[in-house]
Amino acid sequence: MSTYTATVRWARNGELFIDNKYSRGHEWSFDGGVTIRASSSPNVVPRFSDPKGVDPEEAFVASLSSCHMLMFLLLAAAKKFIVDSYVDEAIGMLAKNAKGKLAMTEVILRPKVVFSGENRPAEDVLNELHHRAHEECFIANSVTTNIKCEPVV
């Protein structure tokens, strides 16, 4: 078993606060020393969000995409396929779920993988690699969000 940490920091910058007119900008720090500017989504809190910050919804989509990619690369290497690049322009939808609550209800992964060498996967093998990557992704296994993979060929 493994544990993972993140430190989230926010401070009131002289705003009244109780009027709900305070900055949603904050930062995320990770054990490797990386600190990222974060904020609520400007789509959710327009006036007080930091549009330069990563919002939790974007991070959720990136987390699913990254996990899928890492598992895909592992599986492709095991099959002796040489992957030169992997680009996923993933998208997530915030909508009401079955309980009427706002949730990330769907994430669509759209990975475009470029291979080289003589051993390249046929389309059915590529789809199977993506299917297995989804089945093994730790993050996908942790959420109820509908996750679709639509590889770009």
Predicted structure pTM score: 0.94
pLDDT at 153 over 90: no
CATH number of the domain encompassing residue 95: 3.30.300.20
Question: Are residues 75 and 145 located together in one domain of the fold?
Answer: yes
Segment 61-68 mean pLDDT: 98
pLDDT in tens, 119-129: 999 999 999 99
Question: Are residues 46 and 91 located together in one domain of the fold?
Answer: no
Question: Are residues 30 and 60 located together in one domain of the fold?
Answer: no
Q: CB-based burial of residue 62 (10 Å sphere; 0-12 exposed, 13-18 middle, 19+ buried)? A: middle
Question: Are residues 60 and 112 located together in one domain of the fold?
Answer: yes
Strand ranges (E), the chain? 6-9, 26-30, 35-38, 82-88, 91-96, 102-109, 111-116, 146-149
Four-point Cα dihedral 114, 119, 125, 130, nearest 10: -40
Question: Are residues 45 and 93 located together in one domain of the fold?
Answer: no
pLDDT in tens, 72-124: 999 999 999 999 999 999 999 999 999 999 999 999 999 999 999 999 999 99
* Residue span of the structural domain in which 6 resides: 1-54
Among 38, 69, 39, 58, CA closest to 140 = 69
Question: Are residues 63 and 114 located together in one domain of the fold?
Answer: yes
Domain end residue (candidates: 34, 54, 74): 54
Question: Are residues 41 and 84 located together in one domain of the fold?
Answer: no
Question: Are residues 88 and 31 located together in one domain of the fold?
Answer: no
Question: Are residues 44 and 108 located together in one domain of the fold?
Answer: no
Count of domains in the chain? 2
